[in-house]
Structure 1
Amino acid sequence: MEFGIYELFTLIGALGFFIYGMKVMSDGIQKVAGSKMRGILSKMTSNRFLGVATGFLITALLQSSSATTVMIVSFVNAGLLTLVESIGVIMGANVGTTITAWLISLLGFKVKISAIALPIIAIGMPMMFSSNRKMKSWAEVLIGFALLFMGLDHLKGAVPDLQANSEFLSFLANYANMGIYSTLMFIGVGTMLTLIVQSSSAAMAITLIMCNMGYIPFELAAAMVLGENIGTTITANVAALVGNVHAKRAAKAHFIFNIFGVIWMIIAFSYFITSIDGFMQNNKGFIQNLVESNAKTESLGDEMIFNCTDTATISWITANKGLTITEYKTAKNSYLIVNDDFANLIASSDNEEILNWSNNNSEIAASIATIKDVTTSPLNNAKAVPIGLSIFHTLFNIINLLLLVWFVPLISRIVIKMQPSKGDVDEEFHLEHIGSGLMQTSELSVLEAKKEVSKFGRISSKLFKMIPELMTETDNKKFNNLMSRIKKYEDITDRMEVEIADYLAEAAKGELSDTASKKVRSMLSIVNDMERIGDICYQMSITIERKNEQKAYFTPELRTSLEEMIAEVLKALEIMNKNLNSEYKQVSMADANGAEDIINKMRNKLRKEYLTKIEKGEVKIQTGMIYNNLIHSLEKVGDHVHNITEAITGN
């Protein structure tokens, strides 16, 4: 078959079909299990083993380790996970991605799911129009599942016939037997393939298809799998480029984990390949049940026969098949199935029958026995390679996990040294990861935004605490530095409001549950109030600066009263932050109402105090105006803090 532009676009289209099906199914599963996944992530602890289990579970559900690792990087960036927690989750994600290989190996080649794909879509289609959100999400799962295997079927048909390509066969012949250099070369091929398709699952599917067709031998395919494990880490590192230092560290930890695994596997590569081959041959009955049903006749017979090199055996084969040597070579080169009777005889005969049939020719019998014995060997049977590759992929990731899970704190220290902090602002307030096109649903985006809003609350509190420092600072240099910090933080609050609001607006375009929709409305209101708190704090700093310039003097009584009101506002901010970090539906207004009442009473009290002192001539009118501005600003901060708890409760 010629491979031109049309065939190239057909191949790309089939790959797109596969990836799109995987994405639709992944999104549907996230929506169906959204609340459970949020609960798992929200309750994540520093226990690395729990992190591993969580990473495995999420990747097994999403069917994409790239999606999981990019999501984990974004969660670290948003503060949902610490670096140590994220490393455990990423380790689990690496094991979880092996599920994809097993699905394709066991179902993609053995069961013609594509034949029932349209009926599956027929079941899912009416569910798409259901008013029940969960039912619609289940429809996405079914339709995505069908599309994934339809895409896989098209992908198998779109891959060019490389056996007929003499250049390709020559390339394999030249580069397949170069020892470690061949391994390194095909590790590079696997890495590039994953970078091109941007999905380790899709890269694995392509590798499995090429193996199943006999285009790539088991050893080179295993090397490609190692390369795909490297390629998938680059996706996460690209996502982390726009994240903060914690996100970059998490991505680098993923890279270190996989690179270390590839290094030790290169050293033990030959041993592993031989061990897997031995295991599959020693468990022939079990493996044969996994290999597709026609492997016994097609693979055991002609594939193995055409791979024979023993002269006596070839002569005997050609005689029994009624072929000349030329016809045999033609059949061998074109990989034809010429006579199933011969293959079936070998498949159903034991060594004694073969000996009798071959006129007690021990050399021929030994060769035939060897043919029969290697049926389930991935080194000799192309149909067994997908199973062998799945075993290799699984063993590699599990052993790598068992080796490194004990060294999570060490890996954490290494990546911290590799990616040092550049300062407070860079690490605490860098939110540009929002809008980086992460593979996650609107439901998960709302969870991420909630953590950002909680962080916004902490920043607002930190900004407000600079006000009493500014009031008491007498050193001009320190005073000016504080003024600069307050201005910088006010700019940060402006940026955070815009970024979080834009992110929430994007999330709201997707399908959200009623609870999530309500939470989005609440958070939009919350970030608006927080931005106003930042503005008020900046205005207060300008007022204090003016007070110093005008040498306005507050009496000890006025200063003490002002400090008491500031203390009450700080208590209100503590209540606000506690509520922001709680489940919104569990928050009550009681504490916030109490704090608001106290602040309002103090405002009235302080206003009377300074007016009385002005009347008595103890305070100048200009000083009184400055004092009044500060009281008013504190009361407005209290109002916005109260508004935030109201938004949380939905009042």
Structure 2
Amino acid sequence: MDINVQQLIFEFVGGLGIFLLGIKYMGEGLQKSAGDRLRDILDKFTSNPFLGVLAGVIVTVLIQSSSGTTVLTVGLVNAGFMTLRQAIGVIMGANIGTTVTAFIIGIDIGEYSLPIIAAGCFLLFFFKNQKVNAVGQTVFGFGALFFGLGLMSSGMKPLRSLEMFHELTVDMSSNPVLGVAIGTVFTLVVQSSSATIGILQGLFSEGAISLKAAVPVLFGDNIGTTITAIIASLGATVAAKRAAYTHVIFNLVGATVFLVILDLFTKYVLFLQSQFNLNPEMTIAFAHGSFNIANTVIQFPFIAMLAWIVTKIIPGEDVVVEYKPKHLDPIFIQQSSTLALDQAKSEIIRMGEYSYRGLEETSLYLTTQQQKHSEMAMQIEGALNNLDQNITDYLISISSGNLSEAESAKHTALMDSVRDIERIGDHFENIVELIDYQISNKINLTDSALEDLNNMFDLTILTVKQAVKAFNLMDREEALVVVQKEDQIDKMERTYRKKHIIRVNEGKCSGSAGIVFVDIISNLERIGDHAVNIAEEVLSEKL
């Protein structure tokens, strides 16, 4: 291999690796510095599409990844935290936020990259404070970004003299669709739009590519970055799939519109370059930023239409578990502690209904081994965790007021019930993980073992349902039935353990299958314990 070609490849590939590492470290450092509040930003500031755009910009600037923001958004839609229309606004904002990296690259401080890396390492290795470490990680990533960019740029210098590359750039100038395709494919490969832009900035600064050939690559870069969201939506809810495909449509429409006005847009960028004396890197950054901002402005009024189109493309009824509480209005805390406690109880009942729905989905996952049941169970478990946190915070706020003796007893009973229901979610999550383990390791349960598990599942689900009903209606008779059923669950667990030992001794059941079986019935028995705890709150008449 010719030494120059080898050097070109090594410097480019090594520089790309360091550049990607720099972006990753900088994004992670910024995220840690800002605190793990990104989900809250997206959740709270998306009440309308315009705020959604702003939230998308902010979060993308913080994590330095439009793909990361879009994946997070798909996750929130999947969980029921966000509607499709809200998600579209965030996705538009993410496209604007990702341009910040290009502007950072446009700042000509490459010669200081090594001292910046050294400063970052100093903060990382000589301080124990986590916040200082997060700042150090950010600084290290910042320096690595420029160092990697410098290596890439050095590796790309010889490209100017390569006839084949020169012909390719001429073809891209005369055929913009080729440039879009190259930008799309390269971004798909490296999974980073920022890397594609960085390479483009390096090529343009070295004079290896003209602006007219570079601009379509920018458009393709935006299309390529959508693949991460598509991957994240696989197996997700219909709403999450729609959010991911909206990202694709949004960028495809933007690229198409700007290809039509490519000459006009190129003249605009050249005007900016001459007017503000921009360096080559900053020229590409302004082109990228202008494209994404203009694309958002053009398509923003058509958010409803985008939502309609993607609904037609991906039909189906969307089943979403709502994570957000429905009854916890803070105004009741100020008006009346009794009313506020009643609101908390209403939310706990809703949480209890989720708990037996999650158990039902877990039981279906055991019998069918279909991933949709596992995913729904895990969604419900996530909802239980979120409701637990919200209800607990609400109850703590109530306790700060003056409560009567009866109200104080009810408050304690509600706190205990929330904890029990949340623990039911933890146990069926454990069972889902055990079934995952069974499937991935191809462990076969005997027909007798499956029949025992189904019987115990049916009894446990019925017990939890009756516990929630007793809690809702303050029905002592239902609560007493729950106590009796929990005793049956305990006996069933002991009986099935003995049957399991017999199957093992007879060689009908493998050791690994036995572990899965015993752990599942153990978790179901624990769920029965939590159900009886809820029933006992009814029997104690604190509620």
TM over 0.5: yes
Q: How far 1:484 sits from its partner (Å)?
A: 8.3
Distance 1:9 1:543, change over 3 A: same
- Rounded Cα–Cα distance in structure 1 between residues aligned with 2:148 and 2:142: 10
CA contact (8 A) 1:533 1:637 kept: no
- Rounded Cα–Cα distance in structure 1 between residues aligned with 2:214 and 2:176: 9
- Whether 1:409 aligns to 2:324 is no
Distance 1:457 1:72, change over 3 A: farther
Distance 1:156 1:279, change over 3 A: closer
- Whether 1:140 aligns to 2:137 is yes
Question: What is the SS of the residue equivalent to 2:469?
Answer: helix
Segments of 5+ residues of structure 2 without an aligned counterpart are 323-348, 383-418, 433-449, 487-524, 537-543
Relative contact order higher in (CA < 8 Å, ≥ 6 apart): 1
Counterpart of 2:282 (choices 363, 384, 387) is: 387
The corresponding residue for 1:96 is 97
Q: How far 1:460 sits from its partner (Å)?
A: 3.0
The corresponding residue for 2:244 is 251
The corresponding residue for 2:414 is none
Q: Within 5 A, what are the aligned runs for 1:157-236?
A: 157-173=154-170, 175=171, 178=174, 182-236=175-229
Q: Within 5 A, what are the aligned runs for 1:330-409?
A: 384-409=279-304
Cα deviation, 1:412-449, whole Å, max 9, x if unaligned, reads 1211111122786xx769xxxxxxxxxxxxxxxxxxxx
The corresponding residue for 2:400 is none
Q: Within 5 A, what are the aligned runs for 1:308-323?
A: none
Question: What is the SS of the residue equivalent to 2:207?
Answer: coil
Distance 1:123 1:523, change over 3 A: farther
Q: Structure 2 counterpart of 1:151, which letter?
A: G
CA contact (8 A) 1:456 1:493 kept: no
The corresponding residue for 2:540 is none
The corresponding residue for 1:114 is 113
The corresponding residue for 1:54 is 55
Distance 1:101 1:457, change over 3 A: farther
Distance 1:20 1:600, change over 3 A: same
Q: How far 1:462 sits from its partner (Å)?
A: 3.8
CA contact (8 A) 1:529 1:640 kept: no
Q: Within 5 A, what are the aligned runs for 1:270-285?
A: 270-281=263-274, 283=275
CA contact (8 A) 1:596 1:638 kept: no
- Rounded Cα–Cα distance in structure 1 between residues aligned with 2:421 and 2:207: 55
- TM-score for both structures, normalised by structure 2: 0.65
The corresponding residue for 2:516 is none
Q: Structure 1 counterpart of 2:310, which letter?
A: V
- Rounded Cα–Cα distance in structure 2 between residues aligned with 1:190 and 1:55: 23
- Rounded Cα–Cα distance in structure 2 between residues aligned with 1:542 and 1:497: 16
Cα deviation, 1:597-622, whole Å, max 9, x if unaligned, reads 99756767999xxxxxxxxxxxxxxx
Distance 1:256 1:526, change over 3 A: same
- TM-score for both structures, normalised by structure 1: 0.55
Q: How far 1:232 sits from its partner (Å)?
A: 0.9
Q: Structure 1 counterpart of 2:300, which letter?
A: V
Q: Within 5 A, what are the aligned runs for 1:574-585?
A: none
Question: What is the SS of the residue equivalent to 1:215?
Answer: coil
Cα deviation, 1:120-155, whole Å, max 9, x if unaligned, reads 23432335x50x332322222122222222211222
Q: Structure 2 counterpart of 1:144, which letter?
A: G
Q: Within 5 A, what are the aligned runs for 1:290-301?
A: 291=278
Q: Structure 2 counterpart of 1:125, which letter?
A: L
Q: How far 1:268 sits from its partner (Å)?
A: 1.2
CA contact (8 A) 2:33 2:134 kept: yes
- Rounded Cα–Cα distance in structure 2 between residues aligned with 1:9 and 1:485: 49
Counterpart of 1:528 (choices 420, 426, 447) is: 426
- Rounded Cα–Cα distance in structure 2 between residues aligned with 1:72 and 1:168: 39
Q: Structure 2 counterpart of 1:113, which letter?
A: Y
CA contact (8 A) 2:197 2:221 kept: yes
Distance 1:4 1:641, change over 3 A: farther
Cα deviation, 1:315-347, whole Å, max 9, x if unaligned, reads xxxxxxxxxxxxxxxxxxxxxxxxxxxxxxxxx
- Rounded Cα–Cα distance in structure 1 between residues aligned with 2:380 and 2:3: 52
- Rounded Cα–Cα distance in structure 2 between residues aligned with 1:522 and 1:26: 38
Q: Structure 1 counterpart of 2:33, which letter?
A: V
- Whether 1:153 aligns to 2:150 is yes
CA contact (8 A) 1:29 1:138 kept: yes
- Rounded Cα–Cα distance in structure 2 between residues aligned with 1:606 and 1:171: 75
The corresponding residue for 1:569 is 468
CA contact (8 A) 1:162 1:215 kept: yes
Q: Within 5 A, what are the aligned runs for 1:440-459?
A: 459=354
Q: Structure 2 counterpart of 1:136, which letter?
A: N
Q: Structure 2 counterpart of 1:407, which letter?
A: F
Q: How far 1:257 sits from its partner (Å)?
A: 0.7
Distance 1:568 1:250, change over 3 A: same
CA contact (8 A) 1:240 1:251 kept: yes
Instruction: Choose 190-199 or 387-396, whichever is displaced more.
Output: 387-396
CA contact (8 A) 1:41 1:80 kept: no
- Rounded Cα–Cα distance in structure 1 between residues aligned with 2:180 and 2:528: 64
Distance 1:600 1:142, change over 3 A: same
Question: What is the SS of the residue equivalent to 1:91?
Answer: helix
Q: Within 5 A, what are the aligned runs for 1:477-516?
A: none
- Rounded Cα–Cα distance in structure 1 between residues aligned with 2:30 and 2:240: 25
Paired residues, what number? 416
Give me the CA root mean square deviation.
4.6
Cα deviation, 1:153-181, whole Å, max 9, x if unaligned, reads 222222241122233224434x2553xxx
Distance 1:604 1:140, change over 3 A: closer
Cα deviation, 1:76-115, whole Å, max 9, x if unaligned, reads 223332222211110000011111111111x2x3553314
The corresponding residue for 1:124 is 123
Q: How far 1:66 sits from its partner (Å)?
A: 1.9
Which entry has the higher C-alpha Rg, 1 or 2?
1
- Rounded Cα–Cα distance in structure 2 between residues aligned with 1:485 and 1:123: 50
The corresponding residue for 2:513 is none
Question: What is the SS of the residue equivalent to 1:274?
Answer: helix
Question: What is the SS of the residue equivalent to 1:413?
Answer: helix
Cα deviation, 1:524-574, whole Å, max 9, x if unaligned, reads 955334469999996488679xxxxxxxxxxxxxxxxx99x96762364x7
CA contact (8 A) 2:117 2:142 kept: no
Distance 1:498 1:251, change over 3 A: closer
CA contact (8 A) 2:31 2:63 kept: yes
Q: Structure 2 counterpart of 1:16, which letter?
A: G
